[in-house]
Amino acid sequence: MVSVVRGVGALPHVGRLGLAGRPDRREIRRWIRGVCAARLDVHTLVDVLLVTTELIENAYRHTSCPIEARIACADFGVMVEVSDGDADHPAEMAAADRTWGGRGVQAMVELAISWGVREEGPGKTVWVLLPMVVPKVTPRSG
């Protein structure tokens, strides 16, 4: 399902990562954990790791100009955005059972509340809204 979530774009970003230098998967995962670990339960964090890594790798593989990844957290979920300088939109492909790969957008669609593409100048931002699997509980003192 591709749709627009009104008002979600106003969430404050808790983390931004420049992609022009093409940080590797290990650096990306370290960044995600640093931004999200204290804010998210482990189940939501795993979904954010999977989707963010997939979106960034798609920007690396299918565009010539990856720009930035952003993450924003709210009580209801996590917004992940990846911007690049290419106007082509991602497409969910039917991957053959015997082939490896080609299922990243399909996995993202299964995990997301909603997702979409926002055109920005000559490029785009692919965004995904992931549900908060288990609300983060802060222990009470006293």
DSSP result, 4-71: --TTGGGSPEEEEEE-TT---HHHHHHHHHHHHTTTS-HHHHHHHHHHHHHHHHHHHHH-S-EEEEEE
Higher pLDDT, 107 or 142: 107
pLDDT greater than 90 at residue 42: yes
Q: Report the CATH number of the 13-94+103-131 domain.
A: 3.30.565.10
pTM of the predicted model over 0.85: no
Neighbours of 121 (CB within 10 A): 8
**What would the pLDDT profile of 73-130 be if each residue is shown by its tens digit?**
988 899 999 999 998 887 666 655 555 555 667 788 889 999 999 998 889 999 999 9
- For residues 23 and 17, is the Cβ–Cβ distance under 8 A? yes
Give the domain ranges of the chain: 13-94+103-131
Please state the φ and ψ torsions of residue 130, each to the nearest 5 degrees.
-105, 140
